[in-house]
Amino acid sequence: MGTPYVVTRSTTTSASPAAVHALLEDFHAWPRWSPWEELDPAMRRTYSGAERGPGARYAWEGNRKAGRGTMEVVISTPEQVDVDLAFEKPFPSRSRVEFVLTPQATGGTGVEWRMRGELSPVMRVFSLVKSMDSLVGPDMERGLARLRTAVEAPAG
Give pLDDT tens digits along the chain (156 positions): 578 889 999 999 999 999 999 999 999 999 999 998 888 888 899 999 999 999 999 999 988 888 899 999 999 999 999 999 998 887 778 999 999 999 999 889 999 999 999 887 777 777 777 788 888 899 999 999 999 999 998 765
Among candidate residues 98, 102, 94, the one with its CA nearest the CA of residue 82: 98
CA triple 98-10-50, angle to 5 deg: 30
Domain range for 11:
3-152
The total of other beta-carbon atoms located within 10 Å of residue 59's CB is 17
Give the whole-angstrom CA distance, residue 16 versus residue 50.
24
Contact 58, 46 (CB under 8 A): yes
CATH of the domain at 42: 3.30.530.20
- The structure's pTM equals 0.90
Give the whole-angstrom CA distance, residue 111 versus residue 71.
20
The total of other beta-carbon atoms located within 10 Å of residue 144's CB is 21
Give the whole-angstrom CA distance, residue 14 versus residue 95.
29
Give the whole-angstrom CA distance, residue 109 versus residue 64.
35
Domain count, the chain: 1
